[in-house]
Structure 1
Amino acid sequence: MFDKEIYVERRKKLKENFKDGIILIPGNNYSPLDCKDNCYPFLQDATFRYYFGLSHPGLVGIIDIDNDKEIIFGNDYTISDIIWMGKQKYLKELVFEVGIKSFIEIEELKSYLVKRKNIRFTNQYREDIKNFISSLIDINPFNFDDYTSFELVNAIIAQRNIKSDVEIKEIEKAVNITKEMHLAAIKNVRIGMKEFELVAEVEHATKKNNAYFSFQTILTKNGQILHNHYYGNTLKSGDLVLLDCGAINENGYCGDMTTTFPVSGKFSERQKLIHNIVRDMFDKAVDISKVGVFYRDVHLEVCKVMAKNLKKIGLLKGNVEELVSKGAHALFMPHGLGHMLGMTVHDMENFGEINVGYDKEIQKSKQFGLSSLRLGRRLQIGYVFTIEPGIYFIPDLFEKWKKEKLYEEFLNYEEIEKYMDFGGIRMERDILITENGAKILGESFPRTADEIEEFMAR
């Protein structure tokens, strides 16, 4: 937890958006794995933790603007809990550490809300929480979203999108653990090992730092599969490993990075060529990501860098501006350039990707490739997000486009076909927008093909 003044100030700032009513922010419950007593690791709802600081299940935070009260409702620990868990600090004591003066048993919450007007709550991503809130205020859970307050959603997004100095320090801690995960893979990769053996090395780095995974580890020799969670392949000389992973640290902040490295320690000439193009795409994004710039424009400029370079090696033809505007380049990069990062790896997308990454100024495109861009809005000081360009050679997508004769004026299908055994390369780092532009977060780390080769040689 942070100092209680931080949570007090966060709640105060949220309240300033409303003149009356109640703000209801539920925390998470345990989630059963295969029975109620065998659960997935507990992860507190990020919004509850942001405003109330406590990482305990079964809590609900109330900000009562009408009566100028802040209350946490929940069930305190009993002797039965202590038998199984050991001695615990009681929740009625812990709430004082986050600046809350009242802790009330959860059974009293429904009566507290009876006949109250303007009860505001956000859309929810867990069915148990939807059902619980629905039972509190007697609404149909199947129509839950009809009752949610997008005025509250937008106020939370506006506040949480701007990361404070203490948050940036925590994100950097998570980024540095994430860096350790990547270094563990690069150091331990061996010809003949299974992918799952390398995953074990990666995930060990989170445990030794009292952290957890911010998302399911992506590690594969088949880099053309964007989110591959199968780890059964044998790594061979000539293979590339694409590793996309991240840590969530003990204070609930995330890192997210991707590296692509050769199993043998040396890139082939063709692999280095494509890796260098991805590097140039990344460097272009860092260079032009500044306050006031639409991130969608950054994405498109990066795609032009890719198109210009792929044209040089004969895979593309025609006018670069035109082929990017029409979307022909998306054969090689069908995803977006990045997403917000914070207390979740796709920060606040539980409120809806469109609400976090876009606003009234800029609408999401429906064009293939560009439609997968999760962040399009203007960049502001304090934004933390990912830059993650990639180039992929996806046989199924290639065959579909070739059969349909799509973009034949731009795509040199005969030459592209020669790369169908290549796989894919992605490069990702976590970025902070400052008044001076984009800053790459975390300690230094081998990024270019030459740096990776030098590191592996040592």
Structure 2
Amino acid sequence: MLNKEVYISRRRKLKENFKDGLILIIGNDFSPLDCEDNTYPFIQDATFKYYFGIDHNGLIGIIDIDKNEEIIFGNDYTMSDIIWMGKQKFLKELAIEVGIEKFIEKEELKKYLENRKNIRFTNQYRTDNIMYLSSILNINPFEFDKNISFDLVKAIIRQRNVKEKIEIEEIEKAVNITKEMHLSAMRNVKAGIKEYELVADVEKQPRKYNAYYSFQTILSKNGQILHNHSHLNILKDGDLVLLDCGALSDEGYCGDMTTTFPVSGKFTERQKTIHNIVRDMFDRAKELVRAGITYKEVHLEACKVLAKNMKKLRLMKGEVEDIVSSGAHALFMPHGLGHMMGMTVHDMENFGEINVGYDEGEKKSTQFGLSSLRLAKKLEVGNIFTIEPGIYFIPELFEKWRNEKLHEEFLNYDEIEKYMDFGGIRMERDILIQEDGTSRILGDKFPRTADEIEKYMEEYRK
């Protein structure tokens, strides 16, 4: 846990948004794999951990504005727990360590909430939490979302959007572990091994730092599959490996990076050309990001770099502005440029992508590609987010568009077809908007260009 003053300050700041009522924040419980004693790894709800800090299952935090008190409800350890898990600090002791004096058994919560007005809670992503809250609040679970406090959701998003100094340090720690995951893959990749052998090495790295991985590792020679989770292919010289992975620090903060590197240690000329275009897209975005600019604007500028370079390769034609406004470039990059990052890898998207990534009143585009833009709003000091441009040659999408004669005025389908065996390349780094409004890439120095990757692999690969 962090220093208790951090949690006290966070709760105080949240409470300042409301004049009366109470705030209820529910933590996660264990999620059974097949029975209650065999569960998935426990990950605490990020909002509960942000305000209450305790990494334990089955807890509910109360910030009672009317009574001017804060309480954690839960069930403390029993002798059976101690027998199976060993002696641990009691939860009431942990509550004191995060600045809360009152710890009450969970069974008393329903009584505590009786006849209370303005009970504020957020939307939930776990069915068991929806059912539990519905039962103690006497609401229809099928109408649960009609009862959430959108004012509370907005207040939490505003607060968590701006990262504190301690959070930046934790995220940077996670980013550096993430970088070691990527460097280890570059050192250990070789022709003849299965993808899952490389995944095993990647996922071993965070364990060395008492960390975990922040999402399921994406690793494949088929980089055109954006979020590939099958790792059965045998790697061979000439293949590119796309690795998208991240570490979760022991304090619950995430890293998220993507690299694309050659199995042989050397890019082919065609691979290097595409990698350089992706790098140029990244560099243009990094050049633009600052406090006050909208991320949608940054996304579109990166897409213009894509279109300009695809014209040079004779894969596209027409005016760059027209290409991007039409959405024709999305054949090669059908996703957005990035997303918020923090205690979850797509930070706070449990509150709704539109609420987290868009300014109030702004609607998402329905255009293919642009509709997948998770982050569009104006950037501000303290934001942490990803920049992750990519270029992909997706045979199924190519065939669909060509058969439908989509954007024929901008796409040279005969030339594009020659790249259908290419795969895909993505480059992703984690970015902070600093106090002076400028941006910086988080973490230690890391090979980024094709030449730097080749140099690192030549020097360090096993």
Q: TM-score under structure 2 normalisation?
A: 0.99
Alignment partner, residue 218 of structure 2: 218
Classify the secondary structure of the residue corresponding to 2:66: coil
Alignment partner, residue 438 of structure 2: 437
Deviation (angstroms), 1:436: 4.2
Contact 2:432 2:440 in 1 (8 A): yes
Contact 1:74 1:106 in 2 (8 A): yes
Alignment partner, residue 202 of structure 2: 202
Contact 1:361 1:377 in 2 (8 A): no
Alignment partner, residue 349 of structure 2: 349
Contact 2:359 2:378 in 1 (8 A): no
Alignment partner, residue 418 of structure 2: 418
Distance in 2 (alpha carbons) for counterparts of 1:61 and 1:401? 51
Classify the secondary structure of the residue corresponding to 2:226: coil
Classify the secondary structure of the residue corresponding to 2:209: coil
Distance in 2 (alpha carbons) for counterparts of 1:357 and 1:158? 11
The 10-residue stretch of structure 1 (221-230 or 357-366) with the greater mean CA deviation from structure 2? 357-366
Deviation (angstroms), 1:250: 0.4
Distance in 1 (alpha carbons) for counterparts of 2:175 and 2:22? 36
Please, which runs of 5 or more residues in structure 1 have no aligned partner? none
Classify the secondary structure of the residue corresponding to 1:208: helix
Classify the secondary structure of the residue corresponding to 1:293: coil
Alignment partner, residue 454 of structure 2: 453
Matches within 5 A, 1:178-189: 178-189=178-189
Alignment partner, residue 25 of structure 2: 25
Deviation (angstroms), 1:100: 0.3
| 1:119 alignment partner AA | I
Encode CA deviations 1:334-370: one digit per residue, 9 max, x unaligned: 0000000000000000001111001225321111000
Distance in 1 (alpha carbons) for counterparts of 2:360 and 2:379? 14
Contact 2:380 2:437 in 1 (8 A): no
Encode CA deviations 1:82-108: one digit per residue, 9 max, x unaligned: 000000111111111100010000000
Encode CA deviations 1:2-54: one digit per residue, 9 max, x unaligned: 11111001000000110000100000000001111100010000000000000
Deviation (angstroms), 1:142: 1.0
Encode CA deviations 1:251-276: one digit per residue, 9 max, x unaligned: 00000000000000000000000000
Alignment partner, residue 378 of structure 1: 378
Alignment partner, residue 338 of structure 2: 338
Classify the secondary structure of the residue corresponding to 2:425: strand
Contact 1:285 1:302 in 2 (8 A): yes
Distance in 1 (alpha carbons) for counterparts of 2:316 and 2:391? 13
Contact 2:381 2:437 in 1 (8 A): no
Classify the secondary structure of the residue corresponding to 1:58: coil
Alignment partner, residue 150 of structure 2: 150
Contact 1:362 1:376 in 2 (8 A): no
| 1:447 alignment partner AA | R
Matches within 5 A, 1:199-348: 199-348=199-348
| 1:79 alignment partner AA | M
Matches within 5 A, 1:167-186: 167-186=167-186
Alignment partner, residue 363 of structure 1: 363
Classify the secondary structure of the residue corresponding to 2:418: helix
| 2:456 alignment partner AA | F
| 2:90 alignment partner AA | Y
| 1:253 alignment partner AA | Y
Matches within 5 A, 1:89-104: 89-104=89-104
Distance in 2 (alpha carbons) for counterparts of 1:174 and 1:363? 33
| 2:313 alignment partner AA | I
| 2:293 alignment partner AA | V
Encode CA deviations 1:408-447: one digit per residue, 9 max, x unaligned: 1000001000000000000000000122421000011101
| 2:200 alignment partner AA | A
Contact 2:303 2:329 in 1 (8 A): yes
Distance in 2 (alpha carbons) for counterparts of 1:309 and 1:341? 29
Classify the secondary structure of the residue corresponding to 2:71: strand
| 1:382 alignment partner AA | G
Alignment partner, residue 107 of structure 1: 107
Classify the secondary structure of the residue corresponding to 2:205: helix
| 2:258 alignment partner AA | T
Deviation (angstroms), 1:78: 0.9
Encode CA deviations 1:380-412: one digit per residue, 9 max, x unaligned: 000000000000000000000000000010000
Contact 1:73 1:104 in 2 (8 A): yes
Encode CA deviations 1:273-302: one digit per residue, 9 max, x unaligned: 000000000000100001100000000000
Alignment partner, residue 124 of structure 1: 124
Distance in 2 (alpha carbons) for counterparts of 1:226 and 1:374? 15
Distance in 2 (alpha carbons) for counterparts of 1:350 and 1:409? 40
Classify the secondary structure of the residue corresponding to 1:419: coil
| 2:447 alignment partner AA | P
| 1:14 alignment partner AA | L
Q: TM-score under structure 1 normalisation?
A: 0.99
| 1:24 alignment partner AA | L
Please, which runs of 5 or more residues in structure 2 have no aligned partner? none
Distance in 1 (alpha carbons) for counterparts of 2:134 and 2:342? 29
Would you say how many aligned residue pairs link Structure 1 and Structure 2?
458
Distance in 2 (alpha carbons) for counterparts of 1:441 and 1:421? 34
Classify the secondary structure of the residue corresponding to 2:360: coil
Classify the secondary structure of the residue corresponding to 2:440: strand
Encode CA deviations 1:219-252: one digit per residue, 9 max, x unaligned: 0000000000000000011000000000111000
Classify the secondary structure of the residue corresponding to 2:282: helix
| 2:451 alignment partner AA | D
Distance in 2 (alpha carbons) for counterparts of 1:319 and 1:360? 32
| 1:419 alignment partner AA | Y
Distance in 1 (alpha carbons) for counterparts of 2:30 and 2:359? 34
Residues 1:428 and 2:445 are matched in the alignment: no
Contact 2:185 2:201 in 1 (8 A): yes
Structure 1 segments of 4 or more deviating over 6 A? none
Encode CA deviations 1:55-84: one digit per residue, 9 max, x unaligned: 000100000000001000000001110000
Deviation (angstroms), 1:312: 0.6
